[in-house]
Structure 1
Amino acid sequence: MLVTDLGFVAYFTIVGLGLIPPEWAFAGYADPVMADWNWSFLWIDLLAGATGLTSLRLLMSGRGERLMLVSLVLTMASGLMAISFWTLRGDFSLAWWIPNLYLMLFPVPAIIGLTGLCQGRSPHSGRTPSLS
């Protein structure tokens, strides 16, 4: 999670400073529409990174699980949004799919653990929910 959250910040810093020439970046980035699409992720990615880094810091004092859940859900949403876009375009470039599948899937086990879904009980009550 730490590497992913730092990666969000590093990626937009590098791109924002123009350290990656458009012709070196991933397929289609030189296209202004694709560049705009990429920048449309700025706020969700930075928010995911900031909440994730803050939650990791808070975990040192025994707090931060709820904020970590927020970060993981934002990260998953970011990956899902990108995968949805590339699916709608019919573009299956591994250069885009691999990192975005990672963003979409790596949070799942932690989300399940943090919400108590794998224990079959409510994370708030500590008891098994009634089906009636």
Structure 2
Amino acid sequence: MARRSPSGVTKALMLVTDIGFLVYFSVTGLGLVPPEWAFADYADPIMVSWNWSFLWIDVLAGATGLTSLHLIRRGAPNGPPLMLVSLVLTAASGLMAIAFWTLRGDFSPAWWIPNLYLLLFPLPAIVRLAGPAAPATTAR
């Protein structure tokens, strides 16, 4: 049985998202986030630590995502399973942030929308990649 392949939309969204993870932490690390774009209590040391606690899951999601896209482009069979890992990490990152903002009672669309995106966009592809393999076609 052949593995189901990811859609072109999933690949495009992953590319933008995975590069976005790397850009976000680069911009944050350089202190370039404008105060008006920052989340509530952005300068609070606990919030700074909370934000940076996402570094490893987001960088791992980005690295596995970009690697999987490269492998899929080359036709490597380990591309789709690695993509599944990246998508699960991405959804987990979004879920963790949404759970945190919910517990704080902070409903800023500026932070909810991107984190809902991180949670939701991977779900159809996760179902597709984790589901049963597509039947192999046979030539007659």
* TM-score normalised per structure 2: 0.80
Uncovered stretches (5+) of structure 2, i.e. residues with no partner: 1-13, 136-140
Match of 1:8 in 2: 21
Aligned counterpart in structure 2 of residue 97 of structure 1, from 79, 103, 112:
112
Match of 1:39 in 2: 52
State the distance in 2 between where 1:31 and 1:22 align: 13
Match of 1:114 in 2: 129
Uncovered stretches (5+) of structure 1, i.e. residues with no partner: 117-121, 127-132
Deviations, residues 24-47 of structure 1 (Å, cap 9, x unaligned): 523321111111110000000000
Match of 2:100 in 1: 85
Match of 1:28 in 2: 41
2:89 matched to 1:74? Answer: yes
State the distance in 2 between where 1:23 and 1:113 align: 39
- Conservation of the 8 A alpha-carbon contact between 1:23 and 1:30: no
- Conservation of the 8 A alpha-carbon contact between 2:84 and 2:126: yes
Structure 2 residue identity aligned to 1:32: P
Provide the aligned length of Structure 1 versus Structure 2.
121
3-state SS, counterpart of residue 93 of structure 2: helix
Percent of pairs identical after alignment? 74
Q: Which has the higher contact order (CA 8 A, sep 6+)?
A: 2
Q: CA-atom RMSD, angstroms?
A: 1.8
Structure 2 residue identity aligned to 1:18: G
Deviates more, 1:2-11 or 1:28-37: 28-37
Structure 2 residue identity aligned to 1:8: F
2:77 matched to 1:59? Answer: no
- Conservation of the 8 A alpha-carbon contact between 1:22 and 1:30: no
Structure 2 residue identity aligned to 1:102: Y
Q: By how many angstroms is 1:17 displaced?
A: 1.6
- Conservation of the 8 A alpha-carbon contact between 2:42 and 2:48: yes
Q: By how many angstroms is 1:19 displaced?
A: 2.1
